[in-house]
């Protein structure tokens, strides 16, 4: 009788442990899936920006830029006021730095809401002074894209309750675009 009771207790502990592991695995898979969506979203904005012209003066005049003074000044990076009501729509932007100060909310059905922000700024030649930002335009622009989404944190935090905590994860991707003329 005692042996049967011990076997039942052992079976119960094993069953509970397996159920817990199964639930944890499902949660981790879901969080990984959401992370992949976030990376894909950030990558799509970078890929779109990389197809555009380096600078608006390159697109508006149709001439080849040969002097740094022909580039957009540092304090003017971002979409131009001429875009009107389409200023917040990346499909209407025509040059790389139009993405500066972008802030867009995307809803992915069945996944969640993502907030994507971007900043574009000039950077120095990596051989010159890689740690400091230039005070005048250079032939290199860097885009940093931040995508944030809510993830359930029940697996990674032990609060002592069954409630799942919500956490915000942010993914940062960077891209450097350089201008060369032949």
pLDDT digits (tens, 9 = 90+) for 60-81: 666 778 888 888 888 888 887 6
Domain boundaries, given as residue ranges, for the chain: 2-178
User: Is 57:68 a contact under the CB 8 Å cutoff?
Assistant: no
The conformation of residue 73, written as its DSSP 8-state character, comes to P
Give the model's confidence band at 82: pLDDT under 50 very low, under 70 low, under 90 confident, else very high: low
Q: Which of 179, 91, 140 has the alpha carbon at shortest distance from 132? A: 140
**Tens-digit pLDDT profile for residues 7-24:** 777 767 777 766 666 656
- Span 128-152, average pLDDT: 81
Q: Is 66 helix (H, G, I), strand (E, B) or coil?
A: coil
> What proportion of the chain, given as a percentage, has pLDDT over 70?
71
User: Is 123:142 a contact under the CB 8 Å cutoff?
Assistant: yes
Count the neighbouring beta carbons within 10 Å of the beta carbon of residue 155: 16
Question: Cα–Cα distance between 101 and 107 in angstroms, integer?
Answer: 20
pLDDT at position 157: 41
Residue with tokens 């992915």: 108
Question: Cα–Cα distance between 171 and 153 in angstroms, integer?
Answer: 16
Give the model's confidence band at 173: pLDDT under 50 very low, under 70 low, under 90 confident, else very high: very high
pTM: 0.73
């Amino acid at each position: 009788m005692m042996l049967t009771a011990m076997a039942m207790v052992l079976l119960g502990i094993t069953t509970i442990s397996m159920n817990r592991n199964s639930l944890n695995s499902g949660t981790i898979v879901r969080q990984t899936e959401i992370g992949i969506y976030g990376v894909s979203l950030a990558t799509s904005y970078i890929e779109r920006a990389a197809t555009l012209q380096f600078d608006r003066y390159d697109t508006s005049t149709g001439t080849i830029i040969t002097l740094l003074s022909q580039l957009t000044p540092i304090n003017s990076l971002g979409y131009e006021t001429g875009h009107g009501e389409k200023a917040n729509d990346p499909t209407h932007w025509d040059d790389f730095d139009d993405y500066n100060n972008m802030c867009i909310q995307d809803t992915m059905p069945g996944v969640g809401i993502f907030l994507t922000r971007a900043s574009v700024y000039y950077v120095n030649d990596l051989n010159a002074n890689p740690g400091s930002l230039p005070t005048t335009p250079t032939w290199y622009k860097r885009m940093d894209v931040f995508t944030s989404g809510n993830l359930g944190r029940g697996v990674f935090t032990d609060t002592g309750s069954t409630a799942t905590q919500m956490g915000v994860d942010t993914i940062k991707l960077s891209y450097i675009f350089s201008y060369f003329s032949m």
